[in-house]
Chain A
Amino acid sequence: MNHFKRVFALLVCICLMAAALAGCGGSSSTTTASDPSNSSSTSAPAETTGIDYPTKDIQGSIMWSAGGVCDMSARAIGAVAQDALGSNIIFTNRAGSGGAVSTTYVNAQPADGYELLFGAENPQIAKVMGTAEIDYDDFTPIDLYCTTYAAVSVSKDSPYNTLEELMDAILANPGKIVMATTGAGGLPEVVAAMFADVVGTDPILVPFDGENECMTAIMGGNADYTITTLGSAAAFYQSGDIKLLSMIAESPVEGYEDIPIVVDSYADFSKYVPWGPFYGVFVKNGTDQAIVDKLTDIFSAAAEDSDFQQLLRDNGCFPMNVSGDEAVEYVKSYRSITSWLLYNSGATQNSPEDFGIEKP
């Protein structure tokens, strides 16, 4: 009987924990209910569809590491959307290989609408860059909610004060100037390829895990400059830790009018701009159309949420809201433009034609 007692103790122990946790779960949900602040913006469009979805928590895979634009925008829109969904979205950062880790992961999950991919533009050049065989052809876009510009930044202690100074230094010291990137297929390498084409610069590209890590690298003096999205650089620019040398844009960027634009420095760059990343939410192809419709309704409503849009603006990003066929068209045309651009500039030897990517 002694054994039995011990086993009993073990089980009681587990049960007690279970009970404690259950009690807490309950209390936290009551707090949610009693808090009036959450019911403001999004509730209208979800009720119409008659499907039984979602019935459990939804998983969200974020394409890049914590702290960057992709992460920030995904978590922010997810917070808005989950109220309308009536189900939690549980986020996991699955960074690596220019976004291929997250696309491969979500693509391996069942197409039941419980695995969302919060991704950036990167998979659309994965094929020509040779980083992955999967791109957004395998996914259905729900909503593209955010865009921003690329920007060249250096540490506040950097000797370079203009884009021209930096580029001249790279040309004068081949194999010396280090640029922090996010690896093959990431935005920094794409823009570096544009610069290689226009200016002929060939810096040393050191791959870090994400754009935030690129920022730390230049601030810590481990890289001379980096080209990231404005979103990742904005906070450090506002705090004075970095200098923004140039915007990869064709006209001055709202809120950052004093930053020079790249076409003023190098007029030839006009063939590449306007160009910028996009951020959106995707599901695997084959997901039930009713679920796709419901998600589309909810996320396009969430993208209009004023708090969400304000958060994006505060962080150097710009709201957009493209969904449905328009979004499919958008990611397709993005792929064809960028893939051909990379191919024509010599950044990759793989012809887009081999992957059936039409000329823009």
Chain B
Amino acid sequence: MEIFGHMLQALIDPQLVIYLAVGVFLGIYIGAVPGLSVTMAASLLISFTYSWDVLPSMAAMVGIYIGGVYGGSRSAILLNIPGAPAAVATALDGYPLAKKGLAGQAIGITVVQSVLGGLIGTIILAVGAPALAKVALTFAPRDYFLLAIMGLLLIGSLGSDSPARGVMSAAIGIFIGFIGMDSQTGHMRFVIGPSGSLFRTYMTLGVSYVVVMIGLFGMSEALMQLRDLSVKPVKQKVDKIVPGWKNILKYLPLSIRTSLMGTFIGALPGTGGDIAALMAYDHAKRTTKDPETPFGEGALEGLVACESANNAAIGGACIPMLTLGIPGDAVTAIMLGAMYIHGLNPGPLLMKNSADVFWYIIGAMFVGNIFLLIFGFTGIKLFTKIVEVPKHILMPIIIILSVVGAFSINNNLMDVYWMLAFGVLGYIMKLYHLPVAPTILGIILVDLIELNFRRAAVTVGNSITALLTDLVSHPISLVLLVVIIGMSLSSAGVFQKIRAKFPSGAQAKGSKA
């Protein structure tokens, strides 16, 4: 009963409700501006909130977090610039929808799905946090490695007429991720340039993947658009923004599945919403038999999957943060900092010693999602107008926003130069039918793959046979391995071939895959 009391506080204390609501509202619009990220907003907010009480500052943080993760989808849909890495997958199908004049509908769906995902994530956080945290703890480096490999299989879904080109593109992304100081040994890798120069220092620190993302998506798309100025912007339909019950029910099984995935991936301390969204997208593409529109050209399933997953990952990321004091992603890391400042002891004892804060945060996440449902529908008509702005005005503005976005990561002009270079690179890649999305996938996954591979290898004394034995002798690893093999077989079309041969027996297999 006491628990409900603490949770209810999120709903009845007017001051807290206002902080939360303002947080969600701001989060949405901060997330929607390319160049302003949730992490940035949260780290700004934390310095405001030092002198506040614990609960109001938590309310504002949770609000910004929920709103911001959703907000990133808006610029992804409208401008093809993902507001945050978690919205990369949203851009894949959202932007094609905007090109068709369906931006309003796309945004409407992302609101509802974000809320659904957020609620499911919160429920799991409320019910199963300690248990799930225990499972997440047992994830060994080898399991993270396998998870990353699973993410890589997504290349097959990222659309290209030739798998080789997808793999090529992903490998380029992975390689970009190697550049700089190796985080385990401190040695330089692939760093060029005269010693002591700014260029070299920049490479030493590694290329930020946000720079690559803004360049390859936003900037290169702007250049592509300029190839043909005669194409008039599409008039956006804004009459059917709020998706009907039928629409929601139709995708409900998918959104529940992807929300569960999102929560779990978010709960792993080493992975966050970006990977959750990409894997959910992959899952949607594999399980949707006959999408109305092919994936990559505006499939609603794609939007449903990644938006529900990345908001569900919020609940997930809070699990290790609240039960163990280990952040699940960058924003929870900042929330953790805020708790220290307020004299709480985030960690295994939080649930016992500060139960009020623990349950309030969960309550705030419920209420925050309700605010998201309300505020998420604001400004859609105005925002979709952006797409209708004529190209000769919009494209230069997009370029400027990309520049500001790249600069604001570290206040470094070098980031801007690299972003422009990646913009031109992405433009050329697109011209020659080399898809750019796998490059982003590669650069997002590179640390997960490499560092964990090396950890897994050194744990078993650097022997390949021992590593392979390790992979099959631990239950979690084995399950992941089986899933990976199943996924690769299904992308290779083996199941379709079997189904064609044995039409009756294939049903069961098909539903499993």
Touch A–B, Cβ below 8 Å: yes
| CB of A79 within 8 Å of the partner chain | yes
Report A258 CB to chain B, min CB distance, Å.
Answer: 19
| CB of B469 within 8 Å of the partner chain | no
Binding-face segment, A89-97, A272-280, A351-359: A89-97
| CB of B383 within 8 Å of the partner chain | yes
Query: Is B349 in contact with A238, judged by CB distance below 8 angstroms?
Result: yes
Question: Given the known A-B contacts A83-B51, A311-B343, A314-B345, are A67 and B389 also in contact in the complex, defined by CB atoms under 8 Å?
Answer: no
Question: Given the known A-B contacts A82-B47, A206-B455, are A184 and B379 also in contact in the complex, defined by CB atoms under 8 Å?
Answer: no
Query: Is B181 in contact with A104, judged by CB distance below 8 angstroms?
Result: yes
| Closest B residue to A314 using CB positions | B345
Chain B residues with CB under 8 Å of A65's CB are 333
Query: Is A241 in contact with B348, judged by CB distance below 8 angstroms?
Result: yes
Question: Given the known A-B contacts A67-B327, A79-B50, A204-B461, are A100 and B337 also in contact in the complex, defined by CB atoms under 8 Å?
Answer: no
Question: Given the known A-B contacts A13-B379, A178-B459, are A90 and B138 also in contact in the complex, defined by CB atoms under 8 Å?
Answer: no
| CB of B420 within 8 Å of the partner chain | no
Partner of B455, one of A6, A82, A208, A307: A208
Query: Is A97 in contact with B326, judged by CB distance below 8 angstroms?
Result: no
Q: How many residues of A are in contact with the other chain, CB < 8 A?
A: 82
CA distance in complex: A71, B204 (Å): 23
Partner of A6, one of B46, B389, B451: B389
Encode contact with B along A52-87: 1 for CB under 8 Å, 0 otherwise. 000001010000011100011001100100110000
Query: Is A221 in contact with B138, judged by CB distance below 8 angstroms?
Result: yes
Chain B residues with CB under 8 Å of A185's CB are 186
Question: Given the known A-B contacts A235-B345, A241-B348, are A13 and B383 also in contact in the complex, defined by CB atoms under 8 Å?
Answer: yes
Give the residues from 176 to 220 in chain B that come closer than 8 angstroms, CB to CB, to chain A.
Answer: 181-187, 198, 201-202, 204-205
Give the residues from 81 to 134 in chain A that come closer than 8 angstroms, CB to CB, to chain B.
Answer: 82-83, 88-93, 95-98, 100-101, 104-105, 107-108, 126, 129-132
Report B53 CB to chain A, min CB distance, Å.
Answer: 8
Query: Is B459 in contact with A206, judged by CB distance below 8 angstroms?
Result: yes
Query: Is A239 in contact with B51, judged by CB distance below 8 angstroms?
Result: no
Query: Is A67 in contact with B325, judged by CB distance below 8 angstroms?
Result: yes
| CB of B357 within 8 Å of the partner chain | no
Chain A residues with CB under 8 Å of B29's CB are 17, 20-21
Report B86 CB to chain A, min CB distance, Å.
Answer: 18
Chain B residues with CB under 8 Å of A132's CB are 181, 186
Question: Given the known A-B contacts A92-B43, A131-B185, A239-B348, are A220 and B139 also in contact in the complex, defined by CB atoms under 8 Å?
Answer: yes
| CB of A257 within 8 Å of the partner chain | no
CA distance in complex: A90, B455 (Å): 32
| Closest A residue to B60 using CB positions | A28
CA distance in complex: A93, B43 (Å): 11
Report A236 CB to chain B, min CB distance, Å.
Answer: 6
| CB of A38 within 8 Å of the partner chain | yes
Query: Is B337 in contact with A75, judged by CB distance below 8 angstroms?
Result: yes
Query: Is A235 in contact with B183, judged by CB distance below 8 angstroms?
Result: no
Question: How many A-B residue pairs lie within 8 Å, measured between CB atoms?
Answer: 188
Query: Is A32 in contact with B336, judged by CB distance below 8 angstroms?
Result: no
Query: Is A3 in contact with B389, judged by CB distance below 8 angstroms?
Result: yes
Chain A residues with CB under 8 Å of B341's CB are 75-76, 79
| CB of A339 within 8 Å of the partner chain | no
| CB of B62 within 8 Å of the partner chain | no
Binding-face segment, A209-217, A261-269, A287-295: A209-217
Encode contact with B along A149-191: 1 for CB under 8 Å, 0 otherwise. 0000000000000000000000000010010000111000000
Query: Is B141 in contact with A206, judged by CB distance below 8 angstroms?
Result: yes
CA distance in complex: A3, B385 (Å): 10
Query: Is B141 in contact with A37, judged by CB distance below 8 angstroms?
Result: no
Q: Which of A7, A66, A96, A235 has the most CB of B within 10 A?
A: A66
| CB of B3 within 8 Å of the partner chain | no
Query: Is A204 in contact with B269, judged by CB distance below 8 angstroms?
Result: no
Chain A residues with CB under 8 Å of B458's CB are 204-207
Chain B residues with CB under 8 Å of A91's CB are 43, 46, 334, 337
Chain B residues with CB under 8 Å of A9's CB are 382, 385
Chain A residues with CB under 8 Å of B251's CB are none
Query: Is B51 in contact with A37, judged by CB distance below 8 angstroms?
Result: yes
CA distance in complex: A59, B47 (Å): 11
| CB of B48 within 8 Å of the partner chain | yes
Encode contact with A along B125-156: 1 for CB under 8 Å, 0 otherwise. 00000000000011111000000000000000
CA distance in complex: A75, B393 (Å): 44
Chain A residues with CB under 8 Å of B4's CB are none
Query: Is B51 in contact with A38, judged by CB distance below 8 angstroms?
Result: yes
Report B464 CB to chain A, min CB distance, Å.
Answer: 15
Query: Is A105 in contact with B183, judged by CB distance below 8 angstroms?
Result: no
| CB of B429 within 8 Å of the partner chain | no
Query: Is B343 in contact with A101, judged by CB distance below 8 angstroms?
Result: no
Chain A residues with CB under 8 Å of B52's CB are 31-32, 35
Chain B residues with CB under 8 Å of A298's CB are none
Question: Given the known A-B contacts A20-B29, A24-B22, A91-B337, are A236 and B348 also in contact in the complex, defined by CB atoms under 8 Å?
Answer: yes
| CB of A303 within 8 Å of the partner chain | no
Report A176 CB to chain B, min CB distance, Å.
Answer: 8
Give the residues from 1 to 47 in chain A that come closer than 8 angstroms, CB to CB, to chain B.
Answer: 3, 6-7, 9-10, 12-13, 16-17, 20-21, 24, 27-29, 31-32, 35, 37-38
| CB of B390 within 8 Å of the partner chain | yes
Query: Is B347 in contact with A239, judged by CB distance below 8 angstroms?
Result: yes
Query: Is A67 in contact with B336, judged by CB distance below 8 angstroms?
Result: yes
Partner of B33, one of A17, A83, A183, A204: A17
Q: Which of A28, A76, A208, A307 has the most CB of B within 10 A?
A: A28
Query: Is B327 in contact with A108, judged by CB distance below 8 angstroms?
Result: no
Q: Which of A21, A97, A126 has the most CB of B within 10 A?
A: A97
CA distance in complex: A3, B390 (Å): 7
What are 22 A-B residue pairs whose CB atoms fall within 8 Å in the complex? A6-B390, A13-B383, A16-B379, A28-B60, A31-B56, A66-B333, A71-B337, A75-B341, A76-B340, A83-B50, A92-B43, A96-B183, A175-B461, A178-B459, A206-B141, A206-B455, A212-B326, A215-B326, A235-B348, A235-B349, A236-B348, A238-B348
User: 19 other contacts beyond A10-B385, A66-B336, A183-B183, with CB at 8 A cut-off?
Assistant: A3-B393, A6-B389, A9-B385, A10-B389, A27-B22, A32-B48, A71-B333, A71-B337, A89-B47, A91-B334, A95-B183, A104-B205, A108-B201, A129-B186, A184-B185, A209-B183, A215-B326, A221-B138, A235-B349
Q: 10 tightest A-B contacts by CB?
A: A131-B186, A66-B333, A239-B348, A235-B347, A38-B51, A220-B137, A88-B47, A96-B183, A97-B186, A9-B385
